[in-house]
Amino acid sequence: MTGDNNTLDWLVEDLLKHGDAASTDGLTPDSALLHHAVALLEDFERFCASASQLRLRRYQRDAAEAVLHSVRHGLGQTIVVMFPRQSGKNELQAQLECYLLARLSQQDAEIVKVSPTWKPQSLNAMRRLQRVLEQNRLVNKGWVKESGYCYRVGRARVFFLSGAPEANIVGATASTLLEVDEAQDVQIAKFDRDILPMAASTNATRVFWGTAWTSHTLLARELRAAQAAEAQDGQRRVFVLTANQVSDEVPAYGAFVAEQVRKMGRSHPMVKTQYFSEEIDAEGGLFSAERLALMQGVHPPVLQPASGRLYAFLLDVAGEDETPIDPGAPSGGAGRDATALTIVEIDRHSADPFATAPRYRVCTRRQWTGVKHSRLYSVLLGLAEDWRPETVVVDATGVGAGLASFLDKALPGRVQPFIFSAASKSKLGWDFLALIDSGRWQEPAFSLHDGVPEAHLQPDYALQAVFFKQAQGCQYRVLEGPGKLLRWGVPDGSRDPSDGTLLHDDLLISAALCAVLDEQDWRSGEPAVIIPAPDPLQDIERHF
């Protein structure tokens, strides 16, 4: 047997440590080494342990063996692997690809791996495989990169392609294996038209990797198909894992997920999907009865600031005209949104010893419809003089830009402008849900007498009622694609089912701006200084 000296040295060492002495009796040293190398190529777990120096976890091994069984026997099965975020899915893919390149190096084997985007996802997948090839002691001198998107060992190749809607990938062939990574973000039409035919000539095994999202995704469709096939013949095709199962083997992972649950709440869509493999609805009402109940606090409304407390203003800005309305009165059936102000107390002294972010207690609200911004500017400065807010978050989109600029000059260092776009509103929505689901957004509780509060509290009571109606009327839709964009709001023309008046979402948007406050570090009471730090889960994954 000939080869690189380093390769021969570790094969000798590995043979002495782990080889089967009986199976190599009577063989020459070269033949014994060759026999041992072939034995490694027959066993994926041994290949990883010896050549890659990687110990597979039980759940990784189970999924890999199902994929390899289908490939070895030409079964053409559809296999779905749904792992929580950062639990070793990507590492397992790279090790499988490395193994198949080595195992099938004497065959014209073609593997195609499709990711939702070329940059960064396909590029990241290539970097992972290249790292594994460079570190694997059996193939580190025998691999070649071709054409910028293909890796070859002998005659076996892996091609990396983008599954983006605009990608021109027709014509590639997956004779051995077709992989779709982050399959929840690949459009079904793109897969059916351009990707699935790649496996047709040989009925190649298809494996869909990803994390849970909505029931309308490609991953969800293939999951149900695989479950049905599994029920018919009893051959396992579905590997759905939760954070609890990962934590059984990796306690550090469990600690990390527990912190995410504390920060965002167990019912937050990102926690449910990324860590517990639970699908969410693609559209519907954003604020369920459970979520609305989580908002309700026990503190009374606060109409005047108290000494030693931290406050913030949350301002959603609407247009202006010449027909002012009492700022304490809800806009009710007005034909357009109002400018809405929510004043919150920033409570940094949580009863939860693990909490790293404050609670936000709603003190009072204001609402103006049709007020000139010059007049509104004066009113807001007067309120700011009374309440001395630490931060003023202002909708600086469109007509709000001028008002935000004037406020910034009058309140230097305290104004945080927020510009709405599809992406920023999506993030705001997800982050606001995290506040609610973790119990950190708290509405005041009103003491009622004969069903009504005291006279001086009635305007706030009425505005809170409108806020809850807006929340109940808020609809959402999760858009397709890797961005996971959340489109949310009260649909135009919506009406209050109780009295038929038009329903807007100004008070709801004002409240949601609270999520911007979470970008500051309130533990010190000073504006945040953001210090970049590595993701601890990446360090965990490197030790697979």
Query: Residue range 514-537: average pLDDT?
Result: 65
51-61 confidence digits (pLDDT tens): 899 999 999 99
**HEC states along 421-434?**
CHHHHHHHHHHHHH
Average pLDDT over residues 24-43: 61
Q: Up-side HSE of residue 347: CA atoms within 13 Å toward CB?
A: 17
User: Is beta strand 150-153 parallel, antiparallel or unpaired with respect to 156-162?
Assistant: antiparallel
Q: How confident is the model at residue 483 (pLDDT cuts 50, 70, 90)?
A: confident
pLDDT at residue 541 is higher than 50: no
Evaluate if residue 32 carries a pLDDT over 60: no
**Cis-peptide, bond into residue 251, ω within 30° of zero:** no
> What local confidence, expressed as pLDDT, does residue 334 receive?
47
* H or E segment to which residue 489 belongs: strand 486-489
Kindly give the pairing relationship between strand 143-146 and strand 150-153: antiparallel
- CA distances 212 to 264, 271, 537, Å, are 17, 10, 19
Q: Indicate whether 49 pLDDT > 80.
A: yes
Average pLDDT, the chain: 87
Confidence (pLDDT) at 346 = 96
Task: Please check the confidence at residue 434 and state whether its pLDDT lies above 90.
Answer: yes
pLDDT band at 330 (very low <50, low <70, confident <90, very high): low
pLDDT tens digits, 37-48: 677 888 999 999
Residue 103 pLDDT: 93
Q: Is the pLDDT of residue 288 over 90?
A: yes
Average pLDDT over residues 519-538: 56
Please check whether residue 275 is in contact with residue 260, taking contact to mean a CB–CB distance below 8 angstroms. Answer: yes
pLDDT at 349: 78
On the CB side of 377, CA atoms within 13 Å amount to 15
Render pLDDT for 166-189 as a digit per residue (tens, 0 to 9). 999 988 999 999 999 999 999 999
Residue 325 has pLDDT above 60, yes or no: no
38-42, 112-116, 134-138, 345-349: least confidently modelled range: 38-42
Domains with residue ranges and CATH for the chain: 1-42 (no CATH), 55-241 (3.40.50.300), 281-517 (3.30.420.240)
**Which H or E run contains 219?**
helix 218-233
